[in-house]
Amino acid sequence: AQSVAQPEDQVNVAEGNPLTVKCTYSVSGNPYLFWYVQYPNRGLQFLLKYITGDNLVKGSYGFEAEFNKSQTSFHLKKPSALVSDSALYFCAVRDSNHGGSQGNLIFGKGTKLSVKP
């Protein structure tokens, strides 16, 4: 079965410091991996995705993520955090072997990122 784990409920970072939000996944085929951000009482905004190719993926707002197949991880990173990055972050996976439903993303439970001035 497909699954996503975000082991940290909350990550606290000082502004200007690097941040990492962790994600591990489990799929039977090749993973298609996504990161989304959600601000309070809002929908989800797409940040970046890994489909194939270079393991380091760059996305919106200076975020990047590194795909590690051996560790089945896809951690989200940013070199220098901003207070405005404070939000809820979701990792999601779609199994390439999961035929038919392109809408079926499996989401983690989310990690709350808090960036303090």
Query: Which residues contribute to the site for other proteins (CB under 8 A)?
Result: 4, 32, 34, 36, 41-46, 49, 51, 90, 92, 94, 96, 98, 100-110
The two tokens of residue 57 are 């993926």
Closest separation in Å from C-beta 103 to other proteins: 3
Q: Is 16 or 58 the residue whose CB approaches other proteins more closely? A: 58
Closest separation in Å from C-beta 112 to other proteins: 10
Q: Is 15 or 22 the residue whose CB approaches other proteins more closely? A: 22
8 Å CB contact between 47 and 59: yes
Residues 6+ away with beta carbon under 8 Å from 67: 33, 50, 55, 56, 57, 73, 74
Which residues are 66's β-sheet partners? 56, 75
Q: Is 38 or 72 the residue whose CB approaches other proteins more closely? A: 38
